[in-house]
């Protein structure tokens, strides 16, 4: 539960009060477990602090083991009713949620910026992703199609249909504190599932605000409990969620290391997973690349969200003939990036999420230099003036003659490697030689280069783009990656099938009993 006296008297406290007012919430309606329930909890207290200046935004009491059990019991009970509610009517509930989110887009976007640190445009853009996902799910609620197949037996009809799975656990990361939940939750709901959400402990206030807005819509339509919330650490609440037999699917977003642990725990009870894990995304810049498009694509991909996206651009594999020009253009562009408070209009790059994230970036740069990397721009922690209390760093460009060991790992910070290449085959070989496989791009005007990159012998990533960057995926396409990125798919295309179970049905409407494969028995 929220504690009394959670706000300080600084400007941040005033902003938080204003946001809560705009959202129609107050301190008393907010809770670390579903639906504002006041449980006899044993959960610990966590603090949410602004990455901009360290100011206390709020304290939340995490869900205890009794809280978690009650939430799961509620979710299971609601599922048994919700699964029989017609899918188009389930879509109507999601449509109403989308309308409510539209009303609160500005306030929610500001809360995302305040708590996570991404700039206002990105905060509001993330809320818009939820809204778009709601619209997509509404249409999808009338398109949960099965197939009719031809039976080899006379007077038999054979078809497949899809049924809801049950309780779906969603574990989301700090960098997209609302959008990724929406990707999962809205599709799961129109499929007839109910959702239990464990958000990042770094961004609990955003999750609480979203939950209260969404659950009010559900409650007004007599469906409270479709969406459920449990806040706490991955080692406690996350572990309970992954191991609970009532959970029929776990969708988790986070690091590759976290994904390994979740996959192992879920596999012990044969529970399916959707894993959206780390990326180590590269752009191949060929000699004929449109330099204007290339620089813009790199800048947004590498600097946006301070390099804290799973789709952030980490590596530039640049043809050696244009490399000097590209470095000069990037240094000029980077020097114009305004770093600062993400809620201030005009800021292009906010802080890293925690002081630990800054320390990890600085430690990584030491290793990079030890391995021969040359920092040609940035590389410093910002500590003067307005930066003194926040988690601010300079976006950093590193030049390497050849791939180094550090390039095998994803550092969740704005570090960009530039590596020279001499051919498209050389570039693809370097591109694919990392453990991760999320997003990729090539900038070229050569049809053969582009098709080579998109072919089976090209990019090994789940996302492959031509003349656009690695970030900025649309919800209409299935999102996800290969290798250590996890192999899961969310959002568009036929990703809905992961949230349902397939059933093959055969009906004999004749008066004989023929067997398949021509078998005669008795």
> Catalytic residue at 276?
yes
Reading the block at residue 219, the tokens are 């409650």
Reading the block at residue 141, the tokens are 């609620």
Measuring CA to CA, how many Å separate 333 from each of 180, 298, 330, 337?
30, 10, 5, 7
- SS percent in the chain: helix, strand, coil, step 5: 40, 20, 40
Decide: 204 and 46 in contact? Cβ < 8 Å: yes
Measuring CA to CA, how many Å separate 481 from each of 220, 276, 313, 440?
38, 7, 15, 10
Reading the block at residue 187, the tokens are 């599709």
Residue (of 452, 119, 467, 481) closest to 311 by Cα position: 481
From the candidates 310, 318, 461, 490, give the one annotated as an active-site residue.
310
Other C-beta atoms closer than 10 Å to the C-beta of 122 total 20
Measuring CA to CA, how many Å separate 309 from each of 177, 277, 414, 420?
11, 11, 10, 24
- For the residues of 313-335, what is the DSSP string, one character each? EEEEEEETTTHHHHHHHHHHHHH
Report the interhelical angle of 120-140 vs 87-103 (nearest 10°). Answer: 160
Quote the DSSP letter at residue 235: I
From the candidates 115, 122, 126, 276, give the one annotated as an active-site residue.
276
Residue (of 492, 428, 491, 481) closest to 256 by Cα position: 481
The beta strands (E) that lie in 176-304 are given as 194-198, 227-229, 247-253, 273-276, 281-285
> Catalytic residue at 310?
yes
CA 22 to CA 326: how far, in whole Å? 45
Taking phi over 0 as left and psi of -120 to 50 as alpha, with beta for the rest, 270 belongs to: left
The beta strands (E) that lie in 406-449 are given as 415-421, 436-437, 439-443
Decide: 41 and 136 in contact? Cβ < 8 Å: no
| Long-range CB contacts (within 8 A, 24+) of 45-48 | 45/3, 46/201, 46/204, 46/231, 46/232, 48/115, 48/202, 48/203, 48/204, 48/205
Q: What does the radius of gyration of the chain's CA atoms come to, in whole angstroms?
A: 25
CA 334 to CA 204: how far, in whole Å? 32
Question: Catalytic amino acids?
Answer: 276, 310
């Amino acid at each position: 539960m929220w504690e009394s006296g959670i706000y300080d008297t600084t400007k941040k406290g005033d902003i938080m009060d204003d946001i809560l007012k705009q959202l129609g919430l107050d301190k008393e309606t907010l809770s670390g477990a579903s639906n504002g329930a006041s449980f006899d909890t044993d959960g610990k207290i966590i603090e949410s602090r602004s990455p901009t200046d360290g100011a206390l935004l709020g304290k939340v009491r995490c869900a205890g083991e009794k809280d978690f059990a009650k939430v799961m019991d509620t979710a299971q009970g609601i599922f048994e009713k919700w699964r029989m509610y017609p899918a188009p009517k389930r879509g109507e509930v999601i449509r109403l949620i989308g309308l409510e989110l539209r009303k609160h887009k500005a306030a929610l976007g500001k809360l995302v910026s305040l708590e996570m640190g991404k700039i206002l445009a990105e905060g509001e853009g993330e809320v818009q992703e939820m809204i778009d996902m709601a619209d997509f799910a509404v249409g999808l609620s009338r398109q949960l199609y099965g197939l009719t197949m031809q039976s080899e037996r006379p007077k038999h009809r054979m078809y497949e249909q899809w049924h809801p799975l049950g309780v779906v656990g969603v574990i989301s990361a700090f960098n997209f504190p609302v959008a990724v939940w929406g990707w999962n939750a809205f599709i799961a709901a129109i499929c007839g599932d109910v959702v239990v959400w464990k958000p990042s402990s770094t961004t609990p206030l955003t999750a609480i605000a979203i939950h209260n807005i969404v659950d009010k819509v559900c409650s007004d339509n007599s469906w409270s409990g479709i969406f459920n919330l449990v806040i706490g650490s991955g080692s406690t609440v996350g572990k309970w969620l992954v191991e609970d037999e009532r959970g029929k699917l776990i969708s988790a977003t986070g690091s590759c290391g976290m994904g390994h642990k979740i996959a192992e725990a879920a596999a012990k009870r044969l529970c399916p997973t959707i894993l959206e894990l780390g990326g180590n995304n590269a752009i191949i810049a060929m000699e004929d690349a449109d330099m204007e498009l290339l620089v813009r694509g790199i800048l947004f991909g590498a600097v946006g969200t301070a390099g804290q996206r799973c789709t952030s651009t980490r590596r530039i594999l640049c043809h050696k003939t244009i490399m000097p020009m590209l470095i000069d253009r990037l240094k000029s562009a980077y020097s114009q990036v305004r770093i600062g408070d993400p809620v201030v209009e005009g800021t292009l790059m906010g802080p890293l999420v925690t002081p630990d994230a800054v320390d990890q970036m600085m430690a990584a740069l030491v290793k990079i230099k030890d391995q021969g990397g040359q920092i040609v721009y940035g590389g410093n922690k910002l500590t003067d003036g307005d930066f003194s209390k926040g988690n601010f760093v300079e976006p950093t460009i590193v030049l390497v003659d050849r791939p180094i060991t550090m390039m095998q790992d994803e550092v969740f910070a704005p570090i960009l490697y530039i590596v020279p290449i001499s051919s498209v085959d050389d570039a693809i070989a370097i591109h694919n030689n990392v453990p991760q496989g999320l997003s990729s791009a090539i900038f070229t005007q050569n049809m053969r280069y582009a098709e080579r990159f998109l072919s089976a012998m090209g990019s090994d990533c789940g996302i492959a783009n031509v003349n656009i960057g690695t970030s900025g995926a649309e919800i209409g396409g299935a999102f996800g990656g290969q290798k250590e990125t996890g192999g899961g798919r969310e959002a568009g295309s036929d990703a809905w099938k992961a949230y349902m179970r397939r059933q093959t049905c055969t009906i004999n409407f004749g008066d004989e009993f023929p067997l398949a494969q021509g078998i005669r028995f008795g």
